[in-house]
Chains A and B, each alone.
Chain A
C-alpha cells in the first residue's frame, strides 16, 4: 500500500462546505463555509462549544450526512458525488468511526461487534472472527471476547469499539467525543490508543472533543464556532508517553 502519489494527496479536503438545518422557517448554519485540508497521518482535534457544528462536520467528512453545498474530498474520493452504494463502500473501506456512546450492538458478543464491518464486506464468518480475535488480542481485549456489551465497563466497551473501527484497516479514524463518557483514567487510556493509531499505524485521526488532554496531544487543534473555523493551531508532535 506504499503508493507514493497517494501518500502526498491530503486525506481530507473541503471546499466551501456548508450544512444548513431548517427549523420551522428558521435556518441554522451548522457548518458554514468550511475550507480545510488535513494531510495524511495527522492527529487532529476539533474543538468548540456545544452546537458549534463540530459533530456535524465530522459526520459530513465521514459520509454519514449530506452537505447542503460545497465539496468534500476524502482519500481522493469526491464523496458528495458518490451513490448510496459507493458511499457505503467508502465508509466500510476508508473510515473507522468511534462514538461517545460506543454504539455496540447489545445482542452481540464483543468479538462479533468487532467483526461486524466484515459482515458487509463479504468475509466468511471464520475470516471475520479470526481477524477480530487477532485485533482484540493486540489491543489486550482477549479476555472479553465472549462478553456482551452490558457485561463490560465503559472503558472496555470503548476499546471494543476502537477495535471495530480498526477492523477493515481504514486510513482515516473519526472519533466523536471518544472520552466523553469515560472517567479520566480510562479516558487517558483511550487517548493513548488514538495517538498510537496516528503515530505507529500512520492513520489520520480526527477527534471531535471537549477534552483538553486530547487537544494537548494532537498535532493540530481546529476550533469551531457557529459552524465556522475561528482558530487553526498546529502544534509540535508530542512524544508518546
Chain B
C-alpha cells in the first residue's frame, strides 16, 4: 500500500518538471553548503590533531607518585620496579618507561649564555620505546651523553643583557656545560655535556626537557643532595606510559588516577580541541543550515501550490474512498522525495567539490615551500592531502537531514490537504 502510494507520489512529482527542478535545486544548494562546511571542520580538526599526533602524544600518559612527604594520602602508591611490572599488565598499556628527575637546578652554560632545562634520567635500553623523533644527531644515550628536547637550544639568554632576547645555540658546535650546585655547601661543579641528539621541535611534551642515562642522573642527585640513593629498591619520580591506541588513552589514564597516581595526559588538550571543533561544526553547520531552511520554504511553497492545483483530485480520491491518511501520505512522500533526491545530489556534488579542492591542495603541496595556498592561516603541509574530510557517516546524516527537512516542510500543506472536506475539494475551481 505504501509503495503504491509512493508510486503515485513519484508520478505526481514529475508533473511540473521545471518547478520540481527549482525546488530540488534549493535543497541541493542547502545540503551542499552544510556538507562542505562540515567536511571542512573535519579536515581542519584532522590537521590540528596531526600537529599533536605527530609526537604520538595522544598515546602518552605521564604518571607521578604522590610525594612521600604528603601524609594526607594513606597507602600512597609508589613507582618502583615491582609496582611497574603490575601496572604494565593494565589493558591498553603498551609500555611503561620510568624516569627520575634531576634534583638540582640544571643551569645550562654556553659561553655567555645561560638556560635551564629539567633533566629526566632514563634507562637507555628503554629509549627506543619513547618514539622520539631526532632532528640532528643520533638516538642513543651512552654514559655521559645527553639528548636535548627540541626547544632547549632555542631559549638561551645573556644574563648581562637588558632585553633577555633568547638566542638559539648550536649545541653540537658550542661547548655546553651543566652547572650543578650542592645543597649542603653551595659548591658548584660544571659538567661538560656531550649531546647525542637534538629532538624535533614542536612534537609534544619533551620540547623543554633533556634526557640523560638513569645512572648519571642518580650520581648527580647523590652529589647535589649528599644522600645515597638505593639502586636496588629505587623509587622513580615518574613514569611515561605508552598506550596501544589513542582511543584507550583516556581510559588508561583514569585507571591510574583511580589507583591514586597523579596523571597527566593529552586528554584535556584533545577534549578542548574536540570541544572547539564541535562548536565550529555547530556554527558552520548552522550557516549552511540557513540555506537548507530557505530550501525548506521552497518545498513548502511548492507543495502548497501542488495541493492548490490538485484540490479537485484530492476530492476525487476521497470520493472513491481515500482515507485522510492516504492523502497525507501521498503528499508527504512527495515532499520527502524532494528532500531525499536533493540531499542525494548534494552529497554527490560535495564529493566532487572535495575531490577538486583536495587535488588542488595536493598540487600546491607538490611545489614545496611557498605553495599556492596563501589563504590558509596555517601551514598547509599540516593538512596533509585533504582539506575537506568526509567521514563515512556524514553522507547518510546529510541525506537523512534533507529528507526530514522535506517531510517537515511538506507536513503542514499535506495535513491541510488531508483534512479537506471532499465536497469543498470537489467544488473548488
Contact partners of A168 in chain B: CB under 8 A: 321
Q: At the interface, is chain B mostly helix, strand, loop or mixed?
A: helix
Contact partners of A64 in chain B: CB under 8 A: 315, 318-319, 421-423, 426
Asked if A92 lies at the interface with its beta carbon under 8 angstroms from chain B, I say yes
How many chain B residues touch the partner (CB < 8 A)?
A: 25
Chain A 72-104 interface mask (CB, 8 Å, partner B; 1/0): 000000000000110011011101010100011
Asked if A116 lies at the interface with its beta carbon under 8 angstroms from chain B, I say yes
Contact of B421 among A66, A117, A120, A125 (CB under 8 A): A66
On whether the beta carbons of B320 and A65 are closer than 8 Å, the reply is no
Contact partners of A233 in chain B: CB under 8 A: none
Cα distance A121–B320 in the bound complex, in angstroms: 10
Contact of B321 among A59, A105, A120 (CB under 8 A): A120
Contact partners of A62 in chain B: CB under 8 A: 319
B14 CB to nearest chain A CB (Å): 9
B425 CB to nearest chain A CB (Å): 9
On whether the beta carbons of B426 and A164 are closer than 8 Å, the reply is no
Contact partners of B12 in chain A: CB under 8 A: 107
On whether the beta carbons of A84 and B321 are closer than 8 Å, the reply is no
The residue in chain B whose Cβ has the minimal distance to the Cβ of A59 is B423
Task: Pull 15 A–B residue pairs with CB atoms less than 8 Å apart, ordered by A.
Answer: A64-B318, A85-B323, A88-B318, A88-B321, A91-B319, A103-B312, A103-B313, A105-B316, A107-B11, A119-B8, A120-B320, A120-B322, A120-B323, A164-B320, A168-B321
Contact of B326 among A97, A103, A120 (CB under 8 A): A120
Cα distance A88–B326 in the bound complex, in angstroms: 10
Cα distance A190–B268 in the bound complex, in angstroms: 84
On whether the beta carbons of A103 and B421 are closer than 8 Å, the reply is no
On whether the beta carbons of B5 and A119 are closer than 8 Å, the reply is yes
Contact partners of A241 in chain B: CB under 8 A: none
Asked if A24 lies at the interface with its beta carbon under 8 angstroms from chain B, I say no
Contact partners of B325 in chain A: CB under 8 A: 85
Best-surrounded residue of A91, A122, A164 (most CB of chain B within 10 A): A91
Apart from A88-B322, A95-B319, A119-B8, list 20 A-B contacts with CB within 8 A. Answer: A59-B423, A64-B315, A64-B318, A64-B421, A64-B422, A65-B422, A65-B423, A66-B421, A88-B318, A88-B324, A88-B326, A91-B321, A97-B319, A116-B320, A117-B320, A119-B4, A119-B322, A120-B320, A120-B322, A121-B321
The residue in chain A whose Cβ has the minimal distance to the Cβ of B423 is A65
How many chain A residues touch the partner (CB < 8 A)?
A: 30
On whether the beta carbons of A91 and B318 are closer than 8 Å, the reply is yes
Within 8 A of B (CB), among A181-236: none
Asked if B317 lies at the interface with its beta carbon under 8 angstroms from chain A, I say yes
Contact partners of A121 in chain B: CB under 8 A: 321
Chain B 308-341 interface mask (CB, 8 Å, partner A; 1/0): 0000110111111111111000000000000000
Asked if B15 lies at the interface with its beta carbon under 8 angstroms from chain A, I say yes
Assess A97 versus B324: contact at CB under 8 Å? Given A103-B312, A107-B11, A125-B4: no
On whether the beta carbons of B323 and A103 are closer than 8 Å, the reply is no
Contact partners of A89 in chain B: CB under 8 A: 321, 323
Assess A107 versus B15: contact at CB under 8 Å? Given A91-B318, A120-B321, A120-B326: yes
B4 CB to nearest chain A CB (Å): 6
Cα distance A168–B11 in the bound complex, in angstroms: 24
On whether the beta carbons of A92 and B422 are closer than 8 Å, the reply is no
Asked if B68 lies at the interface with its beta carbon under 8 angstroms from chain A, I say no
Contact partners of A120 in chain B: CB under 8 A: 317, 320-323, 326
Asked if B173 lies at the interface with its beta carbon under 8 angstroms from chain A, I say no
Cα distance A121–B322 in the bound complex, in angstroms: 8
Contact partners of A107 in chain B: CB under 8 A: 11-12, 15
On whether the beta carbons of B426 and A122 are closer than 8 Å, the reply is no
Asked if B125 lies at the interface with its beta carbon under 8 angstroms from chain A, I say no
Cα distance A120–B4 in the bound complex, in angstroms: 9
On whether the beta carbons of B319 and A93 are closer than 8 Å, the reply is no
Contact partners of A167 in chain B: CB under 8 A: 320
Asked if B1 lies at the interface with its beta carbon under 8 angstroms from chain A, I say yes
